[in-house]
Amino acid sequence: MSGVYRGIDSSPEIVVRWARERWEIDGAYALRREVFCREQGLFEHDDLDAVDAHAQLLVAVCDARVVGTVRIHRRDAADCGTTWFGSRLAVSEAFRRHGRIGATLIRLAVSSAHALGCETFLAHVQAQNAPLFQRLHWRTLDVTMLFGLEHHRMQADLAHYPPCATPYLGFVVDQRRAA
């Protein structure tokens, strides 16, 4: 027995939460390298940047493995304002469109920032993912080029993201909605 909670269909539970443990942080960085360097070729070896020094990482965990991640942050470490950003959203290829992992990462990202006083939540979203965000109550503010790719600068409608003050517990992914 692995000790991992399993639902009635015996699929392992997937939890989305703020990262705290070293293995969660290392797993998130490894997944980002896999997706943004190897798969998408946006960065050569590593996608880490200055934002990582002050950002809060979120992870989706399945069977003690990181299968999704995103980070939330203000503009820089000295910024105490009410505008927050989300970036580096990635779900492991084998888990995409699997059980709303990406949507749940977005939900905890915005809701946990909301609990910290966020009044405006923004993200640069790759154009092919704009429909996903629109379904989740985001709107496009403008369109711009980043890393050679078209991105939508989008804003979340906070009315759909009630504050979540327990981000280390996070949310269990509702896999009943999986295709």
Number of residues that bind ligand COA (CB under 6 A): 18
125 binds ligand COA (CB under 6 A): yes
The nearest distance, CB 49 to ligand COA, in angstroms, is 15
Residues 14, 6: Cα–Cα separation, whole Å: 9
> Which stretch in 3-11, 19-27, 121-129, 154-162 sits in contact with ligand COA by CB under 6 A?
121-129
Chosen residue from 22, 45, 176, 177 binding ligand COA by CB under 6 A = 177
97 binds ligand COA (CB under 6 A): yes
167 binds ligand COA (CB under 6 A): no
140 binds ligand COA (CB under 6 A): no
CA nearest to 106, candidates 114, 117, 95, 94: 114
Chosen residue from 6, 131, 147, 174 binding ligand COA by CB under 6 A = 131
Residues 137, 89: Cα–Cα separation, whole Å: 17
Which residue minimizes CB distance to ligand COA?
A: 102
Chosen residue from 35, 59, 110, 113 binding ligand COA by CB under 6 A = 35
Residue 3 or 176 with smaller CB distance to ligand COA: 176
Element (H, E) at 23: helix 22-32
Pick out residues in 47-86 that bind ligand COA (CB under 6 A).
none
Give the Å distances, CA to CA, from 142 to 67, 109, 128, 150: 30, 21, 15, 11
96 binds ligand COA (CB under 6 A): yes
End-to-end, the C-alpha distance of the chain in Å comes to 27
Residues 15, 136: Cα–Cα separation, whole Å: 19
CA nearest to 105, candidates 37, 172, 51, 55: 172
